[in-house]
Structure 1
Amino acid sequence: MIGAEPVIEKHRWLSPVWLLPVIALLLAGGFLYQQWTNSGQLIRINFAQGNGILPGKTQLRYQGVAIGVVQELELAEDGRKIAVLAKVDSRARPLIRKGSDFWLVSPKASLTEISGLDTLVSGNYINLQPGRDNNPLENEFDALDGPPPGYQAQGRTLHLTADSLGSVGIGAKIYFRGLEVGSVINTRLGEENQNVILDLVIEPRFENLIKTDTRFWNISGIKGSFSLSGVKVEAGSLTSILSGGIAFDSPKESDVAQKGQTFVLYKGLAEAARGERIQIQAGSLPIKEGMPILFEGIEIGRIDPIRLTEQGRVVTALINPEQAFRVTGKSRLVWETVSLSPTGLKHADRLLAGPAIRLDYVAGDRVSAMTLESQTQTAGIKISLQADDLAGLSEEAPVWFKGLQIGQVGPLTLDAAGNARVELSVNEAYRHLLNRARFYRASPLQIDASLAGIKVDTSPASAWLGGGVKLIQAPAGERIDRLYPSQELALLGTRNAKPQRWLLRAEQADGVGIGSPVL
């Protein structure tokens, strides 16, 4: 058309077709970025040996979750260790910090410990304990031989130093008053190899028992003794026998100890010098330093070094804190040694072990001083008898009634006027026999012959040498506290000091002799 204006159309410079390559590039970049971020990072862990570590199979774990896998094994730069190259998941990279600990977990069985049983199914793996959160990231580490001290331990960790381990090892139990409260989790050498350090963990509920002045001492797994009475063996739990054990005290006046505090491990209770100290009035008994104090045959204390003062000997003893409650006002300390008497040999077991002090425990109020007695004082009813003489009697000789021993002879004494007295102790169960009691000497053999027959009265063999006392009940009357020479005089006896005597004169004495009855 003439005179028509042209129509101008604008075309886009980029065709929509070009959007497809752009989108493809973006997707490829995102995929590469994702692959890069998820590829993880290689770290180097130096082990003393590579046994049990397999490339592509051995996992790196944290809290039981796999966070990486071993890629390669090679010699370390020093040529003495094995460098393990492990690829760590990128999400776990913040855990790999300076101070992190790595160790190989594998099956382990010993007399005191069984661990790593899960590796029997999944295989060995490398465990991780991260360092502190504020530590910088790190790429190279030296592996440990085993779990670090206190790994997964619930409770307070503390340390003991000792000259040598002795019978204590990893897994040894910690006891307080016989109750298990913790265990030894690690043992290592101290600085410059001059001592041994034990790492302990105490259960949370017992943390308050660890005081600033607490002392620890080694307790043996087995104790034995040999004497004339035989062989005696005392053993603790199986764990205590195999790996030893440690006991400690908890002073009430001391403050609670701080975490990580270091203590000394003593060889025993005596070296620790801990426990309840009591004073002993020993009189003239030949007591010596180190003499044991026994309760039911078990040592619960020892005599301290004896000091000499202007007032004489000062004797003290250290009692095991777990047994100190037995030192009461009603309890007694008895000197126990070998004694040879007419009644036989007593305490023969002390012939080889030496004298000891026996504690007879009776519940009561605690005391800080006790008196050492030279012999056992039998409990029972105390009776004091007047006697013409004490010949043929000995302390601890028996008291009989109808052939049954109902008590024993106590101290034999003479008063200022020379009067002899015999102390008896009669069992409480036989109190009813004392209402009309008469007492006379137990003769080894007594024969009475008359027209009516022959009467023979013998005493047990123990009375032949050590003597004894017999008790009879009179038909009527009260008890007479006097020791008569024979049964006849006892039945006819009165409260007079001596039986009455008469002098009879006769032209002939046919048929009359000593012991003839007076009718």
Structure 2
Amino acid sequence: MRPARFSLIWVIPILVVGIAGYLAWKGLSHRGPTITITFDTADGLTAGQTQVKHKAVALGTVESIALSKDLRRVEVKVQMSAQAAPFLTKNAQFWVVRPRLTGASVSGLETLVSGAFIAVDPGAPGGEEQDRFTGTESPPGVRSDEPGRTYTLMTGSIGAISEGAPVFFRDVVVGEVLGYTMPPGGRGPIPVQVFVREPYDHYLRADTRFWDVSGIRADFSGGGLKIQVQSLQAVLSGGIAFGLPVQRRDKDAPEAPDNAVFKLYDSKEDADTAGYRERLPFVTYFRNSVKGLGVGSPVDLFGLQVGTVTDVKLLLNNTTGDVRVRVAMEIQPERVFSEEEIKAGSVRQITQAMVNNGLRAETDSSNLLTGSSIISLAFVPKAPPVEVVTEDNALVLPSQSGGLSGIMESLSTVSAKLAAMPLDQIGDNVNSLLAHADGTLNGPDVKQSLRELNATLRNAQSLTARADQGLAPLMQRLPQITQQLQQAVTHADSVLSSYGGSSDFHRNLEQTLHQLNDTVRSLRLFVDFLNRHPSALLFGRGKP
């Protein structure tokens, strides 16, 4: 029997088996564990097609999709690759990447062409291995490959802040809001988790202030309308900003550690106000309207804010029926005095001296459009001194009506004084006086006096007429007499010139002629005056 010979035909099957073995070995060597991820919905996921990726590198493929036993979620089985096995721990996070619009940010647009996929963040190394995970519908705010720190902010209300809202530092986006947790029973402050990227997290100190910059803020103070918008994203999804205190006393404040807790203020003004440590309680009472005044309203001194209103309460005395408004304030002396001046002087003594100088608290309108009011500390001239008393560790400041209320009160006082005047009696007296004057003017004595005065005037006119008639011939001859005198003087001058010499006769005659010339001149002036004023002979020169 001949031995069996090796046929070349067996080479092909052997090669096929070898290749198949190699492929099987290669597939098994690169095959990782099978894991199960639960999601709220399987929207966009397809078995055998959807991949699991990290930084655009495929790490697995979805094998099957099924509903959970309670029908509330979906269970997605994923065959992972061998290189993904080391980070399949409890620190790993999975989420579905789809086209997403949150606030002003758009993400996942690449899935419009390639389809949705499952993204994974390995998380911190060293966690416990597991094969079941709970996926999220939105990407986590903190990634393992993005260094930074997480902080908690406490606030009374969320407002417009939403998950993914930006965190600003000097108008630069340095982080985002991770989410918030409602307190037990819905009572108390709400914790909001934020993430700040490195190196900006090193700027946070123990005295750092956070405030809300969501939406659009309108401010009517400062003499005009001011519109403040942090960014379009902050308008749509809300936003948070932080900064250092305005007056930093702790220049070497320690750096805020991870998971530190801060308070979230409603505005930057509130955050700046919180930077003042000293707060002195004061109280004042009003009996006029305090419309527009509320908690947080500023307290001004000469137009500069020195404090805020902490409480406004209406007090009614059931026994006497007395009604007044109690306004509690917190004055921040650091806005006015230095720390040394505050420590050196007694607050009560300083307050008493200012009250003796006329310090009074009054309500004033801060904006006529919004109707908001403030407490204005003003010095009233000649105000009577008032003793400053203490009420529950708070100093009580005297008050007075101010603003529109003060104007209306002054008008009411003037109106009351006018109403108190006896206008009816004054009118009756005026009417009586007019009637008495009318009766007196129409009386017989006045009529007789008028008749006698009329007769006297007629006699005076008759006397003037007779005087004019008597003086008429004399007035007509006066120019002729004056002309004759002038001729005589001229003739005398010719005679004198014929004598000549400097004899006594010549000198006397020359003096006589000068006197005669003066007489003629005076007579001419007298005649001219009588022509203009003939009545001067009766009434004198000083009368018409």
Please, what TM-score do these two structures have when normalized by structure 1?
A: 0.50
Identify, as 1 or 2, the structure richer in helix.
2
Of the two, which has the highest radius of gyration? 2
Please, what TM-score do these two structures have when normalized by structure 2?
A: 0.48
Identify, as 1 or 2, the structure richer in strand.
1
